[in-house]
A = this chain, B = another copy of it.
């Protein structure tokens, strides 16, 4: 078994991205900037109102491992698609990057998950996700030898939405720790944090997860506070190893029980689409972390990867990140 730098686990989703005027979000009743779960009927209705779109593999944790590999790391992924066209596209896009992906696809219904991403003129994305085959992801999909072989197992908070995935994550954490590996998670979305606050806190406090990534809204939501400083301090106290809080154009804070440090973002003048910004920051940070680089250096790789992804449409880099001069210099 070859080693992996990072295994990520998440909802395996194909994104459908379209530019949308602000008014349309209001008309359609979509929460701006959030990820909202929708059923098939609502998904069909929204798609009918959506403009011409681009399709691209997505899924938060899948974007992160795609970014990690694009940065020169070795990656693996667990996630459930169906045996259908979108599932083939998803599997192709992951495997063609050299990522280990062997989760057995679901035969029959429900179909592969899709996320309609409405991108407003300010570059912000608002997501409506139909989970489809992801609801069948569970403990049977964990490959223990892959978990054991990965320096970090990283999973998304979104996995608390489907019914069986959380059990798979708990088992993954135990396998990882039994092999001296690290676990990490992203809190995913402030609404998601509101749905699963107690469970997320328990994951950290029980030591199941060593490293937590959160953006400002998620960190504040976790502790039901408007005070960022307080949220960061409490997160750093709750997480065994490392809390990484991203602040968009204000950079990030990396904190542990001993203290915290702030690192800058990379300035981007023309934001095309923020889809994937957090996912790619985590990819860059983990690329540095798994190479044993400093927190500052890791945060810088993350900032560059995030800056690159928001200059383009969609969450997967269209050019290998490791070939970009500013990023290559950091690797």
Contacts and interface: CB of A to CB of B under 8 A. Distances in A.
How many copies of the chain does the oligomer comprise? Answer: 2
B52 A57 contact: yes
A316 B84 contact: no
18 contacts: A19-B318, A19-B319, A51-B96, A52-B92, A52-B93, A52-B94, A52-B96, A52-B97, A53-B89, A53-B92, A53-B93, A54-B55, A54-B314, A54-B316, A54-B318, A55-B56, A55-B89, A84-B85
Nearest to A51: B96
Given A52-B92, A54-B54, 10 more contacts: A48-B92, A50-B96, A52-B57, A52-B93, A53-B92, A54-B56, A54-B318, A55-B56, A55-B89, A84-B85
Interface string A47-66: 11011111111000000001
Interface of A: 19, 47-48, 50-57, 66, 84-86, 89, 92-94, 96-97, 313-314, 316, 318-319
A53 B57 CA distance: 8
Nearest to A55: B55
Chain A to chain B: the 10 pairs with minimum beta-carbon distance, closest first = A55-B55, A85-B85, A52-B93, A54-B56, A51-B96, A52-B96, A52-B97, A52-B316, A54-B54, A19-B318
Nearest to A49: B96
